[in-house]
A and B are shown apart, each in its own frame.
Chain A
Amino acid sequence: MSSAHRDFRSIWFFSLLAGFFMVVLAGAAWLIDQQQQQVQQTTLNVQQHMGPEIQRLQRLGRNLLQIRHEGDRLLVSDSRTERREALLLVTLVSHHPSLQQDPRAASQAERVTQLLADAAADLDRSTQGRAAWRARWEPLATELTRTADDVMSQAAYLPGADLAALAQVALQARYQLLATMVLAGLFSLVFLWLLHRRVLRPLVGVHQALLKLQAGQALPLLPRAAVREVVVLGEALNTLAATMTENELVRHQLEFQAHHDSLTGLPNRRHFMAKAYDLLHHLRREHSPAIVGMADLDFFKRVNDEHSHSAGDEVLRQCARVLRDTLRSQDLVCRFGGEEFAFVLTGCDIQEGQALAERLRHNLARHRFVMSDGQVLPGMTVSIGLAPMGIIGLEKALSLADKALYRAKDEGRNRVVLEERAVAA
């Protein structure tokens, strides 16, 4: 996972996204609220104003028809009292505010009142002109009826516009509600998709990488992530892998130091013993022969005394190298202590072991020990004791080899001696 590409903190990104969604949804909610207010306002208007207005128009229509009725009564009645009563009602209704506030009705009422007042006065004197008055009255009466019809129709259809507006608003609200729900659903899908792509999928990659994480191995390739938190997690994982590798290296070094001689690099005695036990146990099961040997440099003290301890150390290092070069890869060798070395020759019978030991003695004798200052020391002789590894244990075999080594020393050094008793055993 590389952080070279642009990344971002998920909290900011998702907060920004959520904020945007909220603004859009709040806008949709505001629109719906506006429509609801419009519905409420229209309903309130119908309830508070429309009702009284319809009632006013109905009463106006009723009064116009009543004027016509009183006019008819005045013109057909033979009773002066009745005519006066009709005229009184017409006069008073014509001046009532309910008629006066409607210009068309007020104008008609004024003409009607005047006509009927004149008619009443004339009929009081003589009823002969009744037909003429009726002829003059009819157009006005028709006009009154038509106005009453108009007014009542107006009352009937008064709520129509508001109700149509209400239906329109309700329809718009329905569409907007659906659109808002679809929008909210889309936003949720986008949100989940981004969450999956930008966060969850990289996290699954990190999880899989963690499962495969092993010390000393390269970290598996992590999926590319754009979210800062996931990027940081990947970086932490890389650091962890590097630390684990480093720790493994240190552990190996410590283990090597614990198992090997620091001067010669050969396994130390403790490690040699542990490995030799395992090896000999294996060889015994396989019925494979082995030879245990002890080698000691002859007159090594003289090197330290005549040259220096550092020269002695260098001789020991080069002896160890000769030992490694001479013995086979399957053989075990260690610095047993001082200038003494121990080894196990695996798969060797006595003859082969003796041959290998002789070759070692020969190689050491021929080796030219070149010091760091260019001085060359003559070859070192070595005394070697061998003991075959039969049914006896390792400790016993080493002890016998050590005895053979002493015998080699006693017999004049620079030789290989086989412990005969071991063979007999």
Chain B
Amino acid sequence: MAELKPAPALSRRGWLLALALAGGPAAHAADELVLGVLDNSPPMSFRDARGEYSGYSIDMARAMCKELGRHCRFVSATIASSIDDLKQGRIDVAAMSLLPTPERRAQILLARPYYTSISAWVARPGLLPEQTGVRVAVVQGSAQARFAAQRQWQRVEVLSNADLAVQLRQGKADGMLAPMMSVIGLMKDPSLQALDLSVQPRRDPELTGSASFGITPLKPELKTQVDAALERLERDGVYDRINSQYLSIRVN
């Protein structure tokens, strides 16, 4: 009959290791920020040839995380889903340019603006979105989609800015209403250049203004920290350096 031996007691080092393993992931999770980012909206936010997130908003988000001293994890998101993601706490920050629409103001927190955006109508010369039968491509959930809906324009809603070009190329839309930065990025595409499109900036106040990152309303203290970090970045010239990396003009 085998002799039952008492289980060996944990040494002090063993207890410490057990405590570290138990508390480690939780502590890391508490320190980590989850950032929702667009992965197909050049030059603001896209995946480069190596599959890494890149772009104006991405660099700004990385600089912000560094300034905050927090580890940030990027997860793929869309403008349409970002509001719910923030409200449910699935992401802490929506690192994408969000104009301050009334719906966004009511549901989420908006950080200190990091650039000033205008929108442009891109279509064949002479074609206007107000004209009957004109199909307007917009990104779902965007301020441009909201504006088009308010004007009761015929909309073709897509999930990313890159998809706007697809709609135009495939003839599923007659024009697109998009943010200035996205238009600059999309118009580098030779296939769009071949369409001989005209770019007309819009002066409507709903399509112009200061764009910000969205912040989850579940962590109101995060807004104070993010705002302070962004202010330091602007004062330190980081804004302008990132701006110069992606655009020759100043957009903030």
Q: Which of B122-158 contact A (CB under 8 A)?
A: none
A93 within 8 A of B: yes
Q: 0/1 per residue, B175-198, Cβ < 8 Å to A? A: 000001001100110100100000
Once A85-B188, A96-B116, A97-B116 are accepted as A-B contacts, the answer to whether A91 and B199 lie under 8 Å apart by CB is: yes
Nearest residue in B to A94 (C-beta to C-beta)? B201
Given contacts A59-B252, A92-B183, A92-B184, are A81 and B193 in contact (CB under 8 A)? yes
In the assembled complex, the CB of B218 is this many whole angstroms from the nearest CB of chain A, namely 30
Q: A59-B252, A92-B180 are in contact. Are A51 and B235 (CB under 8 A)?
A: yes
A92–B248 CB distance below 8 A: no
Q: Is the CB of A89 within 8 A of B248?
A: yes
In this complex, the interface size class of chain B, counting residues with CB under 8 Å from chain A, is 20 to 34
A134 adjacent to chain B (CB < 8 Å)? no
CA distance in complex: A95, B208 (Å): 10
Indicate whether B4 reaches chain A with its CB closer than 8 angstroms. Answer: no
Q: Is the CB of A98 within 8 A of B235?
A: no
Tell me whether A88 is interfacial, beta carbon within 8 Å.
yes
Cα A59 to Cα B240 in complex, Å, equals 9
1/0 contact trace for B232-252 toward A, CB 8 Å? 001100001000000011111
CA distance A59 to B249 in the complex (A): 8
Using an 8 Å CB-CB cutoff, how does the interface string of A312-334 with B read, 1 for contact, 0 for none? 00000000000000000000000
Residue of B200, B248, B249 with highest tally of chain A CB at under 10 A: B249
CA–CA, A405 and B68, complex, Å: 135
Q: Is A92 touching B201 in the complex (CB atoms < 8 A)?
A: yes
- When distances are taken between beta carbons in the complex, the residues of chain A under 8 Å from B180 are 92, 96
Looking across the interface, which residue of chain B has its beta carbon closest to that of A59? B250
Do A96 and B187 touch across chains, with their CB atoms under 8 A apart? no
Closest to A52 in B: B234
Q: Are B201 and A63 in touch, CB under 8 angstroms?
A: no
| Known contacts A81-B193, A91-B199, A92-B184; is-contact A97 B249 (Cβ 8 Å) | no
The answer to whether B116 touches A98 (Cβ under 8 A) is yes
Instruction: Give the docked Cα–Cα distance between A60 and B193 (Å).
Output: 29
Residues in chain A near residue B184, CB distance under 8 A:
88-89, 92
Please indicate the chain B residues that have their CB under 8 angstroms from the CB of A62 in the complex.
249-250
What residues of chain A have their CB less than 8 Å away from a CB belonging to chain B? Answer: 51, 55, 59-60, 62-63, 66, 69-70, 81, 84-85, 88-89, 91-98
A-B pairs with lowest CB-CB distance, top 7 = A95-B201, A59-B250, A93-B249, A92-B180, A66-B249, A62-B250, A97-B116
